[in-house]
Amino acid sequence: MTIYRNVATVMGATVLLQISVGVLGVALPLAMAAAGWSGLSIGFVVAGYAIGFLFGGLLAPLVIQSIGHIRAYAAFAGGAAALTLMLALNSDMIWWLIARIGFGFCAAGIFAVAESWLADATPSEARGGVISIYQILGRAGLILGPFLIALPGIELLESFVLGGIFLALALIPITATRRGQPALPAGNRVSPFRLLTIAPAAAVAAFGAGVINTGVLGFVPIWAETLSTTTTGSAALVMAVIYGVSILVQWPAGKLSDHVDRRLVMAGAAATAGLFAAILAVFVTPGLWLGAALAGLWGGASLSYYGISIAHAADRSRAEELPAIASGILVTWALGSIVGPILAGLAYGSVLEGRGLFLFAAGASFVLTAVLLWRSRARKPVREAEREPFINLLATSAELAEIDAHPDTQDASRESAA
C-alpha cells in the first residue's frame, strides 16, 4: 500500500502541474495575439519553453544528484510558479521570452523528479498500467486547464495568476511525503547524432513531432478564436478535443506498431495528420464544432508518433540502453520544438494567417511521411519477436524508461527504500 500511495502522490502533483501547463497553453497565445504581437514574436516566445526544456533536461539530473529529489522538486516548482506570475507584471516580449525559457527549464526538472520517483516506486508487475494511468491523468490536466480560464470573471491576465496557483499547489503532495528519497538518476543519454546512426527513423520522427506539434499547438488557440465569438471557450474546447482524441488514438496506434513495421505506422500517422491539416487549410474557418472535430483528428494522428519513435529506437538498441535512448529522443524533440514555433510563426504571420499555419503543418507532415517511407525501404524492419513492447511515453522526461530497463534492479531498490 505504501508503494501505491507514493505513486498516487506523484500522479496528483503531476495533474496539478499539467493543469497549469494547460492554462498557459491557451492563455499565452491569446494574450500575445490580443496585444497585437507578430506571428514571429509569438513563435519565439513559444520556442522559449523548448529552449529552457532542452537545457533543463540536460542539467536536471545533476541538480537532483546534488540536492536530492524533494529539494530539487521544491526548487523547480517554486521557480516555475514565480516565472508564471512574472507574466502578469509586464507584457514586454523579452520579459516573456525570459520567463518562458526559465519555465521550460523548471518544467523539465519537475518531470525528471516526478517520473524518476514514479519509476522507482512502481512494482515491475504493474509498470504498464501505471505508465498508462500517469499519461492519461497528465493529459486530463491539460484538458481541464483551458476550461478554467473560460470561467466567468477570469481574464487573460488573471489566468497567469491561476497558473501560478496550481504550480504552487503541485508542491504540496511531493514535499509533504514521508517516503525516503528514490534512487538518484544516472543521467546517461544518447546524443541526437548517435541516435541518427542507431535509429534514423526514430530521430526524424521525434524531430518532426517537435517541429510540427509544438509549432501548430502554439497557434491553434489563436486560430480557434476565429471559430466563435466566445474566444477563450472556443480555444479551450479545441485544445480539449485535440488532447482527448490523442488519448484515444495513442494506445491502439502503439499496439499496432508492435505487429507492423513501426516506420510504416509512423508514416501513416504523419500522412493522416497531413491530410487533415490540408483540409483545415482549405476550410480554415469551418465553424466551432467542425473545426474542433478536424483539429482533433489532426491531433490524434500527429501526437501519436512520438511514443512510437521511442519504441522503434528501443527495437534497435539493447534493453539497458532504453533510458539513454529515450533521453536522446527527448533532446531531439526539444531541438525540433525550438525550430517549429518560429516556422509556424512565420506561416501564421503571413497574409494567409490560419491557412498558412495548416499549410505548414500539412507540408511538414508529408515531408516526414516521405522520409519515413524511404527509411522503411532502406533497412529491414526488426522481427516482431525481437521488438520491445510499446510503452506510451510522452515528451516529458526519459525517466519512465527506467521502469522497463532494469525491472529486477528497480524492485530491489524499491524494497530497500520502502
Give the tens place of pLDDT for each residue, 73-118: 899 999 999 999 999 888 889 999 999 999 999 998 888 888 777 7
pLDDT at position 364 is 97
Q: 197: exposed, middle or buried (C-beta count within 10 Å: 0-12, 13-18, 19+)?
A: exposed
Segments in the chain below pLDDT 50: 1-2, 405-418
Q: Which of 384, 370, 379, 209 is nearest to 299 (CA)?
A: 209
Q: 174: exposed, middle or buried (C-beta count within 10 Å: 0-12, 13-18, 19+)?
A: buried
Instruction: Tell me the three state secondary structure of residue 267.
Output: helix
pLDDT at position 241 is 94
pLDDT at position 178 is 65
Residue 60 CB: number of other CB atoms within 10 A? Answer: 27
Give the tens place of pLDDT for each residue, 268-310: 999 999 999 999 999 999 999 999 999 999 999 999 888 888 8
pLDDT at position 114 is 80
DSSP state of 142: H
Q: Are the C-beta atoms of 28 and 43 separated by less than 8 Å? A: no
pLDDT at position 1 is 47
pTM of the model: 0.86
